[in-house]
């Protein structure tokens, strides 16, 4: 057994044992110590992956550039999510406290496996595992709304993942060579080369619809919106970033494998249509959003729509899609952490009950304004660069009508966000909140400034290794 195989096996064994131990013990200090230990293990595992980039381990996992990039984002956001999770659940009972952290460790391990999986069967197993882990986290607050969102999430995600796998099985049935039926990505490349284009189109539709439950893309976006609304803010940050990245990765891998076939124009049209409809839905709902977390959930739908359009346009749009995924992960996580803090200060998630945040908590209000600039792609946000690349791709392909629609919908989103964020920060509440108000230590907001600072840095400089990494991810796509 190679060193890589030993380390990978050890990582999953440690994940299982740590999660089990956290779920069984009732001592909060011990749970915190075990969770911090696991965070260190995950960071070390990510670093090990970079040192062995390109290696295939145990036949089912590969340390490829995209998987390692998303794994690294997960490691960074694990640090911040664990930190804010400690704060959020500190007053919970020991049983609830242990369940939260055990499910969190299970989610992190499942997403890590999905990122590195090199076959659709392996991806399917780990994506289904994320569904079970997220369900336990969504139900954390034990409310009727949390219960409703939980069973919706389990039901819809299970159907979506089944549809995705059905699309791949549909392809497998068209090939007589039994060696191809293990559905590794290499095998799917061979299947795509031999299969009827009609079957490829059907398979891609199934995969896109199925994994859009995780990516949060139209038409299966509603389940993630409901999950964002009721989950603890640190978990909403995970669902809206690293878990959406799992869905993106599954769709992107199949897109790459099918891109060398005759259905590339079809896939591009489907992605553009799905992306535009995601923007339409997000803009419409954000204009009438009255719940602060739900507002951010529809913002995630908007950004996944931008990513889908970037992929569908191609060219420099491929680079923009990967860059946008990275920057959105850091920005949206910081915003959800901040909305969680605003709830403690203002006592509500309702927009009409929110307001005067700058006077109540200046450090948090400033962070919220900074996050608003980042998520709306206003310079100095690095997301300005990724969206500029998308528009450049639209211009280079003479997609003038699509460019006009794209820009118009972004204006609606910008208006919806600016009116709501400025109301939260500066205006007086329209209604008096009913919840008890709390004070926040400004040091708890430092993580958000760090995340937003990383996004701003990309606006001014994209280090050569970072650019080369993205280029290596998209190098096999049509130019």
CB–CB of 431/350 below 8 Å? yes
pLDDT over 90 at 166, yes or no: no
Question: Rounded to whole angstroms, how far apart are CA atoms 344 and 361?
Answer: 10
Look at residue 477 and tell me if it is in a domain.
yes
Task: Write down the pTM of the prediction.
Answer: 0.93
Please report the pLDDT score of residue 356 as a whole number: 86
Please report the pLDDT score of residue 221 as a whole number: 75
**Tens digits of residue pLDDT in 133-148:** 988 898 888 888 888 8
pLDDT over 90 at 348, yes or no: no
Q: If residue 69 lies in a helix (H) or strand (E), which one and from where to where?
A: helix 65-88
Please choose, from the candidates 73, 92, 80, the residue with its C-alpha nearest in 3D space to the C-alpha of residue 137. Answer: 92
Please choose, from the candidates 134, 390, 387, 117, the residue with its C-alpha nearest in 3D space to the C-alpha of residue 242. Answer: 134
Question: Rounded to whole angstroms, how far apart are CA atoms 387 and 327?
Answer: 11
**Tens digits of residue pLDDT in 80-128:** 999 999 998 888 888 889 999 999 999 999 999 999 998 888 888 898 8
Question: Rounded to whole angstroms, how far apart are CA atoms 412 and 305?
Answer: 14
Please report the pLDDT score of residue 246 as a whole number: 92
* 254 or 435: which leads in pLDDT: 254
Least confident of 13-17, 295-299, 328-332: 295-299
**Tens digits of residue pLDDT in 202-226:** 888 988 988 888 888 887 777 777 7
**Tens digits of residue pLDDT in 418-459:** 999 999 998 888 777 656 667 788 888 999 999 999 999 998
State the average pLDDT over residues 367-374. 93
Look at residue 80 and tell me if it is in a domain.
no
The contacts of residue 178 (CB under 8 Å, 6+ apart) are none
Look at residue 145 and tell me if it is in a domain.
no
Please report the pLDDT score of residue 188 as a whole number: 74
Look at residue 174 and tell me if it is in a domain.
no
Domain of residue 311, residue span: 263-479
* 286 or 169: which leads in pLDDT: 286
Look at residue 475 and tell me if it is in a domain.
yes
Please report, rounded to a whole number, the percentage of residues in the chain having pLDDT higher than 90.
Answer: 47
Three state DSSP letters for 300-318 = HHHHHHHHHHHHHHCCHHH
**Average model confidence (pLDDT) across the chain:** 88
* 271 or 198: which leads in pLDDT: 271
Q: Residue 461: pLDDT band by 50, 70, 90 thresholds?
A: confident
Please report the pLDDT score of residue 434 as a whole number: 58
Please report the pLDDT score of residue 113 as a whole number: 92
pLDDT over 70 at 178, yes or no: no
Please report the pLDDT score of residue 215 as a whole number: 87
Look at residue 363 and tell me if it is in a domain.
yes
* 382 or 229: which leads in pLDDT: 382
State the average pLDDT over residues 64-89. 93
pLDDT over 90 at 337, yes or no: yes
Query: Could you give the number of structural domains in the chain?
Result: 1
Half-sphere exposure of 456 (CA within 13 A, CB side): 14
Please report the pLDDT score of residue 433 as a whole number: 61
Look at residue 95 and tell me if it is in a domain.
no
Please report the pLDDT score of residue 455 as a whole number: 94
CB–CB of 68/50 below 8 Å? yes
Half-sphere exposure of 109 (CA within 13 A, CB side): 25
Look at residue 399 and tell me if it is in a domain.
yes
Q: What is the DSSP string of 7-30?
A: HHHHHHHHHHHHHHHHHH---HHH
**Tens digits of residue pLDDT in 400-424:** 999 999 999 999 999 999 999 999 9
Question: Rounded to whole angstroms, how far apart are CA atoms 417 and 328?
Answer: 16
């Amino acid at each position: 057994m190679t060193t890589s195989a030993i380390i990978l096996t050890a990582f999953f064994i440690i994940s299982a044992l740590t999660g089990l131990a956290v779920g069984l013990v009732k001592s909060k200090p011990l749970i915190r110590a075990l969770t911090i230990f696991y965070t260190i293990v995950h960071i070390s595992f990510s670093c090990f992956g970079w040192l062995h980039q390109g290696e295939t381990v145990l036949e089912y996992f590969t340390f490829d550039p995209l998987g390692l990039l998303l794994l690294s984002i997960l490691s960074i956001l694990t640090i911040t999510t664990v930190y804010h999770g400690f704060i959020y659940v500190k007053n919970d009972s020991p049983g609830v406290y242990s369940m939260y952290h055990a499910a969190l460790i299970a989610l992190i391990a499942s997403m890590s496996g999905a990122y590195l999986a090199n076959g659709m069967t392996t991806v399917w197993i780990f994506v289904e595992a994320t569904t079970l882990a997220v369900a336990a986290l969504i139900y954390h607050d034990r409310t009727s709304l949390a219960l409703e969102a939980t069973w919706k999430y389990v039901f819809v995600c299970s159907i979506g993942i089944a549809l995705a796998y059905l699309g791949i099985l549909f392809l497998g049935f068209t090939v007589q060579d039994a060696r191809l039926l293990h559905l590794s990505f290499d095998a799917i490349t061979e299947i795509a080369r031999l299969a009827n284009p009609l079957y490829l189109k059907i398979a891609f539709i199934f995969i896109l619809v199925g994994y859009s439950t995780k990516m949060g893309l139209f038409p299966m976006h509603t389940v993630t919106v409901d999950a964002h609304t009721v989950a603890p803010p640190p978990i909403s940050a995970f669902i809206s970033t690293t878990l959406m990245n799992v869905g993106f990765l599954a769709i992107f891998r199949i897109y790459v494998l099918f891109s060398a076939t005759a259905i590339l124009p079809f896939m591009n049209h489907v992605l553009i249509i799905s992306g535009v409809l995601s923007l339409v839905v997000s803009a419409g709902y954000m204009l009438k959003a009255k719940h602060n977390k739900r507002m951010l959930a529809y913002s995630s739908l908007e950004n996944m729509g931008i990513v889908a359009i970037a992929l569908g346009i191609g060219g420099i749009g491929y680079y923009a899609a990967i860059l946008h995924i990275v920057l959105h992960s850091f920005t949206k996580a910081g915003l959800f952490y901040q909305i969680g803090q605003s709830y403690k200060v203002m006592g509500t998630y309702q927009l009409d009950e929110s307001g005067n945040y700058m006077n109540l908590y200046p450090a948090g209000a400033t962070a919220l304004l900074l996050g608003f600039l980042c998520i709306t792609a206003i310079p100095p946000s690095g997301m300005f660069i990724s969206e500029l690349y998308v528009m450049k791709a639209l211009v280079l392909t003479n997609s003038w009508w699509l460019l006009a629609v794209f820009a118009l919908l972004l204006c609606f989103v910008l208006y919806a966000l600016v009116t709501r964020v400025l109301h939260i920060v500066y205006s007086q509440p329209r209604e008096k909140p009913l919840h008890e108000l709390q004070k926040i230590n400004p040091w708890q907001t430092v993580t958000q400034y760090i995340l937003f600072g990383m996004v701003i840095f990309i606006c001014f400089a994209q280090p050569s290794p970072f650019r080369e990494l993205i280029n290596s991810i998209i190098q096999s796509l049509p130019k």
